[in-house]
Amino acid sequence: MHRLRTTVARLRPLTAAQTAQSLSQPRPLAVEGGLRTFQPARRLNTSVAAEPFLNGTSSNYVEEMYYAWLENPRNVHKSWDIFFRNANAGAPPGAAYQSPPPFAGTSQGLASVQALVGAQPNVEKLVEDHLAVQSLIRAYQVRGHHVTRLDSLGIMAADLKLKWSRESKQTFRCFYGLAESDLDKVFRLPTTTFIGGNESSLPLREIIRRLEMAYCQHIGVEFMFINDVEQCQWIRQKFETPGIMQFSLEEKRTLLARMIRSTRFEEFLQRKWSSEKRFGLEGCESLIPALKTIIDKSSQSGVESVIMGMPHRGRLNVLANVIRKELEQIFCQFDSKLEAADEGSGDVKYHLGMYHKRMNRVSDRLITLSLMANPSHLEAVDPVVQGKAKAEQFYCGDTEGKRVMSILLHGDAAFAGQGIVYETFHLSDLPSYTTHGTIHVVVNNQIGFTTDPRMARSSPYPTDVARVVNAPIFHVNADDPEAVMYVCNVAAEWRNTFHKDVVVDLVCYRRNGHNEMDEPMFTQPLMYKQIKKQKGVLQKFAEKVIAEGVITMQEYEEEVARYDKICEEAYARSKDEKILHIKHWLDSPWPGFFTLEGQPKSMNCPSTGISEEELGHIGNIAASVPVEDFTIHGGLSRILKGRGNMVNQRVCDWALGEYMAFGSLLKEGIHVRLSGQDVERGTFSHRHHVLHDQNVDKRICIPMNYISPDQAPYTVCNSSLSEYGVLGFELGFAMASPNALVLWEAQFGDFHNTAQCIIDQFISSGQAKWVRQNGIVLLLPHGMEGMGPEHSSARPERFLQMCNDDPDVFPKLSEDFAVRQLYDCNWIVVNCSTPANYFHVLRRQILQPFRKPLIVFTPKSLLRHPEAKSSFDDMLFSLSFTGTHFKRIIPDDGAAASGPEKVKRIIFCTGKIYYELTRERKNRGMDEAVAVVRIEQLSPFPFDLVKAETDRYLNADLVWCQEEHKNQGYYDYIKPRIRTTISRTRPVWYAGRDPAAAPATGNKQTHLMELQRLLDTAFDLEAFSGKV
Ligand SMILES: Cc1ncc(C[n+]2csc(CCOP(=O)(O)OP(=O)(O)O)c2C)c(N)n1
Ligand SMILES: [Mg+2]
């Protein structure tokens, strides 16, 4: 659909409903303390205001009448109608009022009213004209951006034959019934415009001229959807005030210098490495001054740290000219002969991150800039950046976002197409997730790879997604660097004033193909014919400022030569680099956590137990309501009482075990943050970390924050209903510091797959690609409990398939084997069967000397299983003995273990099936014949401990038993590793569900039958005889 052709339609006056809305806009603003407040009614004729009865509170009443009358004269009593008509017709004070017609409305009375109105033939026209002018002003504010000259190619409609036509003035005016003859009439300006400057009335001609200047040049402002009047006024003032967009000579010179750097950097790379992909910025060179302006302005208002996320386009340029990475470090990335100094896969140069602290010359203050490393997956980094920014704000006590802020860059196609953008926007105003305003910058080159916008989105702009959070959107023609600089200043001020998101849409073009090797003429022939004719933005801007006398031609050429020389010198230095250090591209250093060489400070993990006293203290807090006069729900009282009883008996269930882990870490100064859907109560109503007063709205209590006066704060937060966004956010939060336990819990484990990109691209492979560790914990409720195909499986097979330990190699044993194995793995996967082991594994996350992601398959039915309890003894730290710790496997400790030579079978298993197996074993009287061994740490695989078990039961056959289907669960991961452990001397048999497409049956009966069948196989000692 051709956009220009629809322009006229878009400029039509508002619908009746919209008109009513527009008229009512400046009316009641808010209900504050029950009092309605009003905008001053500048529209009310002053002579009217001079009426003697218009004083005190009655003037408010009159104003209200007046607005109602403007909407529809019938809204008010006839007497008011006559009064306003007369007043607007210019009746002198005292003369506008006429006695109302008799109540009964005699024909004589009516006639006199009609005669009165009829006697003033211009009144109606005058009112209509004023209304028309108001509507016209509003139309520019609402729709001016439709007719703004945003696109320097003139192809926003992708129809090159139709040129831009300047018909907005006529269209707008004619539409509201204003004639040529009205142009010189003077109209009062409403309070909703700032075009008057100091004037309160202007001729229509001037009104239109000023509106055109404000809304129809190179900046298109989309903001009238914002439902906060103060914010709308703020924006109007920023764009409508006459002469507001002016720059000093110095500012223009700086802008030119930045344009030179941006442009010449790409040209330099092109000259030196013409056949290398770099996803250059050509066509949107003004991105660099745009970002620098935002950073300067933000730094001036006190921001000390900026966290940025961006895609491929122009990334090297941003690294070089915004973050100021040493040029030789960038250039040497183009050298294919460089040897990698770090372990891991590394990543391509346009994905790497970076961290740099420097002096901001404009503000004269130190500022830290970091660009987050990211995968190819566009927009995936958005929530990660937000999480990291939130964490930095949290650690420096920046509760309003005054010191730390985030900037996100987007491509037009990705911004419109990727759902994560929407998910991230929805975090922007949630108390535990807000970063107090993000500045979004879209490089809107009107193309995504080979697809043009008509095929790539259904919304008029790529930025429409931002409207959901009431973010203003500033579209700007990127070929006008001054306009770009202006909107960036306003965007930074907006963020600093309202601490809400804002979008800058740089409408530009892409001079080359998607990358420098691509031929764009295959698919966009007309667009690229136009682009070839296009003068570069630097050239255009240089010509302009030289013509204005801002700089001479010679000075300009010298500036260009100066930057070219800088590049050449860095290029020469880059030749000396022999080794490529990915470490130099770290986006989140953890000072003090590693040795200077970046190694862990030790290879030990101390006991993860805690003292008896601490267990008792934390347990009592978990069982209490630590504030006065707080009424909790009766059911919860019973739960807390139950906890108290457990503490007296020195045992923990799952929830209490978790409480002990969190509470003890908090006491040790480690921040704990648990986020996810409904985590505060817990999906299964077992956690109850936030208590709600049953009598007072919003009064809550978080007992975990009452453990000790000098504890670290505990954050537990119900998230928005998003997995991709929230998991990404928590990953970013965990990135900021190693000294926090950050956990994300899925409502049910299977929902993690909507966050698959974060898991695949960041969590499992992040360290390998970006030498950056992360200790995030994923809690994934898992278990076959007859609940149907969904809500059953957290898909352990997927996580295990991505583990990097070799199934075929029995690792070299050493004293620090267990820790070293953890250090070498890409992530840790566990399925704990006891609260104590869950407690230990959470504490180990912090006490181990490095950070690794931890995937925990968590139970559902075990939360209340009477046997799934742990004694305090299993959680103790003691100076007199080595203390308790996480058990990678839990060997059989019953009759089988006492007589290992009599054991016929070892059943290896993990998780809740253990309880079903031991019940079945008991029922069958097979405690001596069958040993059941739990593998609690699935990966890295505990080769050493499994070997000890297989060595102990030499006469036993080996069975892997799982409740999941054979093509799912753990079997494919476990089997080869057990085989390697026993040097393939014995087979490893399978007892479990048959292969299936769905993770579980929807039929309870079938579920139970399948379970019984797998238990039968597990305990049938003849089941595998004769099989090979
Ligand atoms: C999630 C995802 N899907 C597909 C791609 C492949 N891809 C790389 S760049 C690109 C086009 C992006 O267009 P746009 O967002 O407009 O950025 P531009 O390249 O125009 O700057 C695509 C589809 C990707 N990187 N990520
Ligand atoms: Mg694009």
Instruction: Find all residues with CB under 8 Å of 678, minimum gap 6, and list them.
Output: 718, 747
Q: Cα(68)–Cα(25) distance, rounded to whole angstroms?
A: 12
Q: Are 705 and 621 in contact (CB under 8 A)?
A: no
The CB of 443 under 6 Å from ligand 1? The reply is yes
How far is ligand 1, taken at its centre, from the CA of residue 143, in Å? 30
β-strands 201-203, 186-188 pairing: antiparallel
Within 727-798, strands assigned E span 740-745, 777-781
Report which protein residue has its CA nearest ligand 1's atom 26: 377
Q: How far apart are CA 643 and CA 660, in angstroms?
A: 12
H-only helix segments in 742-867: 756-757, 766-770, 796-801, 817-824, 835-847
Mutate to test the pocket of ligand 1, among 421, 449, 506, 761 (most ligand atoms within 8 A of CB): 449
Q: What is the pLDDT of residue 878?
A: 73
Q: Rounded to a whole number, what is the distance in angstroms from the first to the last CA of the chain?
A: 67
For ligand 1, say whether the CB of 409 is within 6 Å of any of its atoms: no
The pLDDT, as a whole number, for residue 639 is: 97
Distance CA 366, CA 359 (A): 4
Mean pLDDT by 10 residues, the chain (1028 residues): 33 32 32 31 39 49 69 74 68 58 46 48 82 94 91 67 50 79 94 96 96 96 97 98 96 98 97 90 98 98 97 95 92 73 68 88 95 95 98 97 98 98 98 98 97 92 97 98 98 98 98 92 94 96 98 98 97 83 78 89 94 97 96 97 98 98 98 98 97 96 98 98 98 97 98 98 94 95 95 97 97 95 97 98 98 97 95 88 91 97 98 98 98 98 98 97 98 98 96 97 96 98 90
Q: Which domains does the chain have, with CATH numbers?
A: 123-218 (1.10.287.1150), 249-584 (3.40.50.970), 612-782+831-874 (3.40.50.12470), 899-1019 (3.40.50.11610)
Q: Does any ligand 1 atom lie closer than 6 A to the CB of residue 849?
A: no
For the sheet containing 905-909, what is the strand order? 889-890, 930-935, 905-909, 957-965, 988-993
312 C-alpha to ligand 1 centroid (Å): 8
> In the beta sheet, which residues pair with residue 594?
600
Structure-token match 């492979």, residue found: 765
User: Minimum-distance ligand to the CA of 757?
Assistant: 1
Which atom, in ligand 1's list, is nearest to the CA of 462? Answer: 16
Which tokens go with 374? 């990211």
At 410, is the secondary structure helix, strand, or coil? strand
* Cβ of 382 below 6 Å from ligand 1: no
How is residue 34 annotated by DSSP? T
Q: Specify the amino acid at residue 959.
A: V
**Three-class DSSP category at 122:** helix
Structure tokens at 700: 């809550």
**What pLDDT does 612 receive?**
96
Question: Which tokens hold the place of 413?
Answer: 């196609």
DSSP 757-768: HIIIIIITTHHH
Q: Is the CB of 412 under 6 A from ligand 1?
A: yes
Task: Provide the residues around ligand 2 (an ion) whose CB is within 5 A.
Answer: 411-413, 445, 447-448
Q: Specify the ligand 1 atom closest to the Cα of 757.
A: 1
| Cβ atoms < 10 Å from Cβ of 825 | 18
Look at residue 507 and give its three-state secondary structure: strand
Query: Is the Cβ atom of 447 under 6 angstroms away from ligand 1?
Result: yes
- Ligand 1 centroid to residue 410 C-alpha, Å: 10
Ligand 1 centroid to residue 449 C-alpha, Å: 6
Q: Confirm or reject: Cβ of 378 under 6 Å from ligand 1.
A: yes
Q: What six digits make up the tokens of 648?
A: 């007296």
pLDDT of residue 109: 45
287 lines ligand 1 (CB under 6 A): no
Which residue's entry shows tokens 């230990």? 840
Query: Which residues are CB-neighbours of 825 under 8 A, at least 6 positions away?
Result: 803, 804, 805, 852, 939, 940
445 Cβ below 6 A of ligand 1: yes
CA dihedral 433, 409, 448, 757 (to 10 degrees): -40
Centre of ligand 1 from the C-alpha of residue 451, in Å: 10
How many other CB atoms are there within 10 angstroms of residue 633's CB atom? 13
Cα→Cα distances 51→56, 62, 96, 120, 508, Å: 12, 11, 9, 20, 56
Look at the pTM and tell me if it is higher than 0.85.
Answer: yes
